[in-house]
Structure 1
Amino acid sequence: MHMAFESCFNVIVSNVLVRAPGFSPNTDGIHVAQTQNIVISDSDIGTGDDCISIVSGSQNVRATDITCGPGHGISIGSLGADNSEAVVSNVVVNRATLTGTSNGVRIKTWQGGSGYARNIKFLNIVMQNVTNPIIIDQNYCDQEKPCHQQSSGVQLSNVLYQNIRGTSASEVAIKFDCSRTVPCREIYLQDVILEPEDGGNGDTVATCQNVRYVNRGKFFPQCTPLRNQRGGRF
């Protein structure tokens, strides 16, 4: 990791330039853990991993005017590894541009964990040729052996995606892969438009599993329910 803030209070990070090759593993740009009241602003980050990673114990995190690429995007998590408890709350990502990244804005949790990630806002974000522009993965499994289905998980709730525009490098521009036993709830989408890169053939799609969402204003692509779908618009 280039910069890590762990067990810190009242942090200001601004005008930071991070550069690592896109193929360099585990080179997170700015890592936030067990930290409260941190503002990251006006920074340009290119790495082989997450541009910004926010993990358990973090509260009142604000990232504004961020440029990200290459890298794995801006991530909350992973949370709940090894059946651990995770808590993350009050995160705002506002005014960011992501270019050529593997993910855009991502929340990732392991099965078997507990706790919550809630009160999260992704606002005013531009995606340029991003492979997974919007993704929630509650079945995250970063290991060689398959991860077995478990009955507990980190609860995700009150997440807002507002004014997110741009292009997806893959067909699936929005992916909500939520837990069967602990579904995502209170997921809000407002003015989200993600189209194929270079006006490619066909349209982008959204896949939504075990999620209850509300869409307001423009929202494209619309969610396509998968097996074991719980929810939809309400």
Structure 2
Amino acid sequence: MIFVMVQIAGTIVAPEEPRNWDPKNPRIWIVFSNLEGARIQGGGVIDGSGSKWWAASCKINKTNPCRGAPTAMTIDSSSKVRVKGLTIQSAQQMHFTISRSVAIRISGVRVDSPPDSPNTDGIHISESTDISIQNCRIGTGDDCISIVNASSNIKMKNIDCGPGHGISIGSLGKDNSVGIVTGIVLDTATLTGTTNGLRIKTWQGGSGYVRSVRFENVKMDDVENPIIIDQFYCDSPTVCKNKTEAVKISQVIYRNISGTSRTSKAMKFACSDTVPCSNIVLNNINLERENGTAETYCNCAMGFDYGFVRPAADCLRNDDSSRCSGGSENNNRKHGQVNTEL
């Protein structure tokens, strides 16, 4: 094995004009592929010069055609790579993508883009396993961290997120596809002024599962949707049709979550009527609304809470199991079906 070290000490700046972009590489800029045991470090800056790309987005101007834009930095089909101390800013679209890779360690990375920059996920993980992200500060116009299909054993620690759309699993199941995500841990994070906090989002009609997820030791400051599971996600210009199939969501633990919600629904579990959420566990939750009363919303979500939980989440135990298919999985902890040490 040849050891590779990439030292980025200065600033790498992308071309400003989208028309100057290589048409043979419309979705990528800086790519590291088929590496093993590499180090990418140096404290430098990767600047995507994204402002003109954002202005051309259909999310900014609905008269524009919807087109993909480059990802600023990609690690693909690699293993045992470490990335440390870089800043990635103003990406054309996503900032940093990890795909089809194993044993990637990310530390001390900063992502910086304005809150109105469209589709600019901070760190995006797909088809990868054994990924560690720690001590990172991410401010952007989309998900701070997004985890999508065929990803497992993802550990995040000491994450500062905001602005942005929070920490997201999904979206999964679009166009009736299979989505599988398992073994996700977020331990110690601060989310400030984000659209969402801890989010799992799936489209109707998909299949597969999300399970063995733990979010703990998270502080929220003025977050619009602090805790949300949405199995009716629809990021489409047309109305999404109701479907009975869904990605199954189970074994999700929220522990030591506190802070303020911008909206009344501090916790929202909007789950499928035919493939309900199960084994949802809440422990030591304290979410308040600065002006008004916070509440918990449930649709076909079953589990339990213990310790101090505010707002109350009685709907997890009392949701109408006769209406929700699979309601027999009512997850009363006395049956011993929930492992709270995921």
Please confirm whether the aligned pair reaches a TM-score higher than 0.5, indicating the same fold: yes
Q: Which of 288, 293, 297 is the aligned partner of 1:207?
A: 297
Shift of 1:162: 0.2
Aligned pair in 2 of structure 1 residues 229, 163: CA closer, same or farther (>3 Å)? same
Which 5+ residue runs of structure 1 have no aligned equivalent? none
Whole-Å Cα distance in 1 between the matches of residues 107 and 200 of structure 2? 24
Larger radius of gyration between Structure 1 and Structure 2: 2
Match of 1:170 among 253, 260, 263: 263
2:168 pairs with one of 75, 94, 101: 75
Q: Which runs of 5+ in 2 are unaligned?
A: 1-93, 322-326, 333-342
Q: What is the aligned partner in structure 2 of residue 13 from structure 1?
A: 106
Structure 1: which amino acid aligns with 2:304? V
The letter for the 1-side match of 2:278 is R
Q: Is the 8 A contact 1:208 1:229 kept in 2?
A: no
Where in structure 2 are the equivalents of 1:147-158 lying within 5 Å? 147-158=240-251
Residue 142 (str. 1) matches residue 232 (str. 2): no
Among 178, 183, 186, the residue aligned to 1:85: 178
Residue 117 in structure 1 maps to residue 210 in structure 2: yes
Given that residues 279 and 331 in structure 2 are in contact (C-alpha distance below 8 angstroms), is that contact kept between their aligned partners in structure 1?
no
CA 1:233–1:86 in structure 2 vs 1: closer, same or farther (change >3 Å)?
Answer: closer
Aligned-pair CA distance for 1:225: 4.6
Percent of pairs identical after alignment?
49
Distance 1:221 1:145 in 2: 34
What's the offset of the Cα at 1:223?
3.1
Distance 1:88 1:162 in 2: 20
Question: Counterpart of 2:310?
Answer: 220
From 277, 280, 292, the equivalent of 1:184 is: 277
CA distance in 2: counterparts of 1:229 and 1:135, whole angstroms? 19
Q: Counting strand residues as a fraction of each chain, which structure ranks higher?
A: 1
CA-atom RMSD in angstroms: 1.4
SS, match of residue 71 in structure 1:
coil
Instruction: Name which of 131, 134, 139 aligns with 1:38.
Output: 131
Q: Which residue of 2 aligns with 1:130?
A: 223
Runs of 4+ that moved beyond 6 A:
none
Give the number of equivalent residue pairs: 230
Q: Answer yes or no: is the 8 Å Cα contact 2:172–2:206 preserved in 1.
A: yes
The offset of 1:2, in angstroms, is 0.4
Name the amino acid aligned to 1:103. N
Alpha-carbon deviations, 1:146-177, whole Å to 9, x = none?
11111110000000000000000111100000
Give 3-state SS (helix, strand or coil) of 2:175's partner. Answer: helix
